[in-house]
Amino acid sequence: MNGPGIELTLAPELRLFAPPSRRAERVPTGIDGASSIGHVVESAGVPLTEVGRLLVDGEEVPVSYVPRAGQSVEVLAVSRPQPVTGAPLRFLLDVHLGTLARRLRLLGVDAAYENEDIGDPALATRSAAEHRVLLSRDRGPLRRRELFAGAYVYSDNPDEQLRDVLGRFAPVLAPWTRCTACNGPLRDADKDSVGDRLEHGTQRSYDVFAQCADCERVYWRGAHHARLERIVAEAVAEFGGVGSA
């Protein structure tokens, strides 16, 4: 480090964002005397969506605070559950999180999903326009200033991703109330009204159906229902909060 600097300590869960050489406690970090602590933290690789409290010499400061040479800065992770203010809790997931989107919808959580890579600016713009929390495994869109809110998804395993999001945001769960294909609301449907959409074997074997009010996709308790029941039961047992979507 050349010139004036601070000592920067990242919370253990945030150190994965920094280069390996900068993951220790109290890392000497250069400053220019004009940039905010938020800029310094982002320069260290950490998206501000993942930052909770910022402590300078033990005192909490805002992201706009400009650090001075010789100060000790501690960056804490967001608290859990993390409140989201300004709009009802709902999500937007990028192209890499299709399985997570379907599982959130299975639990009745409002989860919009982009099944094509529309680019970071478009994701951030949609997040802002619809007041949705953007979930991504890419730091790029989480740095966009126009973003309404965002969160980094830490795992590439769908089971762990779901636990991460439910534990972080504590959404109210309402299983079996959303279409896993389009996110629309489900409604009960009788066999006669959906019969033209069913294969003969399905018509003969099942009597209870639901249909999406938006895309009209039909659901029934078919061969994969036991697996879906497990996902729902485990989520409800661990995170509770069952209610109306």
Instruction: State the virtual CA torsion across 94, 46, 154, 147 in degrees, nearest 10.
Output: -30
Long-range contacts of 79-83 (CB under 8 A, 24+ apart): 79/52, 80/167, 80/168, 81/167, 81/168, 81/169, 81/170, 82/151, 82/168, 82/169
Q: Is the dihedral of CA 189, 193, 195, 198 positive or negative?
A: negative
Peptide bond into 81 cis (omega under 30): yes
Task: Count CB neighbours of 213 within 10 A.
Answer: 12
Task: State the pLDDT at residue 221.
Answer: 78
Under a CB-based contact definition with an 8 Å cutoff, are residues 239 and 207 in contact? no
Helix (H, G, I), strand (E, B) or coil at 103: helix
pLDDT digits 0-9 by tens, 34-56: 999 999 999 999 999 999 999 99
Residue 200 pLDDT class (50, 70, 90 cuts):
very low
User: Which residue did the predictor score with more confidence, 203 or 239?
Assistant: 239
CA 15 → CA 24, 41, 47, 98, 221, distances in Å? 8, 11, 11, 27, 44
Task: Count CB neighbours of 86 within 10 A.
Answer: 7
User: Which residue did the predictor score with more confidence, 208 or 49?
Assistant: 49
Kindly state the tokens that stand for 120: 């970071």
Under a CB-based contact definition with an 8 Å cutoff, are residues 203 and 168 in contact? no
Task: State the pLDDT at residue 245.
Answer: 46
Task: State the pLDDT at residue 219.
Answer: 84
pLDDT digits 0-9 by tens, 103-143: 999 999 999 998 889 999 999 999 999 999 999 999 999 99
Q: Report, as an integer, the average pLDDT of 224-228.
A: 85
Report DSSP letters for 144-174, one per residue: -TT-SEEEE---SSHHHHHHHHHHHH-PPB-
SS (H, E, C) 52-102: EEEEECCEEECCCCCCCCCCEEEEEECCCCCCCCCCCCCEEECCCCHHHHH
Residue 224 pLDDT class (50, 70, 90 cuts):
confident
Residue 3 pLDDT class (50, 70, 90 cuts):
low
Give the whole-angstrom CA distance, residue 7 versus residue 1.
11
Task: State the pLDDT at residue 241.
Answer: 63
Q: What are the backbone dihedrals phi and psi of residue 6, each rounded to the nearest 5 degrees, phi first?
A: -125, 170
Under a CB-based contact definition with an 8 Å cutoff, are residues 50 and 76 in contact? no
One-letter identity of residue 113: Y
Is 80 exceeded by the pLDDT of residue 206? no
CA 87 → CA 113, 115, 152, 187, 213, distances in Å? 18, 24, 20, 25, 24
Under a CB-based contact definition with an 8 Å cutoff, are residues 218 and 210 in contact? yes
pLDDT digits 0-9 by tens, 58-113: 999 999 999 999 999 999 999 999 999 999 999 999 999 999 999 999 999 999 99
Task: State the pLDDT at residue 154.
Answer: 96
Q: Report, as an integer, the average pLDDT of 24-35.
A: 93
